[in-house]
Structure 1
Amino acid sequence: MTTHHTHGQSTDEDDKAAFEEFKSLVNMTAHQLEKWLATEASRAVGQKDGDAESVGHKSGRRIIELLGAKKSDLQSDDYAHMRKVTGYVKRHLAQRPHGDIEHTKWRYSLMNWGHDPLK
């Protein structure tokens, strides 16, 4: 049986893969992420789309919701956000700077997206 993708629709298999990848790359708990997002360092990094809040910071708040959601309650836009998160984290990890990363904007940006490279 072949699976045909209708525009904007993903299959259960695609969603399952997105969910698994999201779970493996997001290594911060909802509580850790919530505490992190409340820090100055968290708010100081990331692209702002003419908004006071950066894209990554906004994403972090959405990730907290996703981490707390029941799998059965997830909608297609939730899976789309999971794909956005995993894409961002993977691209960003490939740009790891040399040296100590503990206090870098690179790490802080990743943490806004739920991934702490020091974990």
Structure 2
Amino acid sequence: MTSAVTEETWNEFHSVVNMTSRELGDWLRTQAADENTEQPPPHAGHETGRRVLAILAKRPGDLTEADAEVMQEVIDTVRAQRKPELEPEAGDGPWRHALMDIGHDPLKPPSESTT
């Protein structure tokens, strides 16, 4: 680990971000598309989601302080909106979609979480 990201933050981030890079990228592109336009992949979707996607592509030693801040923001957001055990939970569409924008699908079983 780098001094920017502790092992605890790394592990917790990968616990709450339960969508794979591919799933998150596909989701962000889908969310950015509408009937008039589709943004190119580097600009598709929620900004934090794009940053999460970039973090998922990095090795721990390549993470920066900015990455650590995004990781903690995602951890705090998911923990604030979910029960501590992170068991699959249905909710309204906008709530689920907002969590998916940052890499957490509340309906995905914990055993499937891989990045």
Please confirm whether the aligned pair reaches a TM-score higher than 0.5, indicating the same fold: yes
1:37-48 matches, cutoff 5 A: 37-40=28-31
Larger Rg: 1
* Alignment gaps of 5+ in structure 2: 35-42, 84-88, 109-115
Match of 1:58 among 27, 36, 47: 47
1:75 alignment counterpart: 64
The residue type equivalent to 1:91 in the other structure is A
1:1-119 matches, cutoff 5 A: 12=3, 15-40=6-31, 57-94=46-83, 100-101=90-91, 104-119=93-108
Which ranges of 4 or more aligned residues in structure 1 deviate by more than 6 Å? none
Report 1 or 2 for greater relative contact order, CA contacts < 8 Å, sequence distance ≥ 6.
2
- Distance change >3 Å, CA 13–CA 33, structure 1 → 2: closer
SS in 2 for 1:118: coil
Following superposition, the deviation at residue 80 of structure 1 comes to 1.2
The residue type equivalent to 2:18 in the other structure is N
8 Å contact 1:22–1:86 — kept in the other structure?
Answer: yes
Q: TM-score, normalised by structure 1?
A: 0.67
* Alignment gaps of 5+ in structure 1: 1-10, 45-52
State how far apart, in whole Å, the 1-side matches of 2:4 and 2:67 are.
Answer: 15
Q: TM-score, normalised by structure 2?
A: 0.69
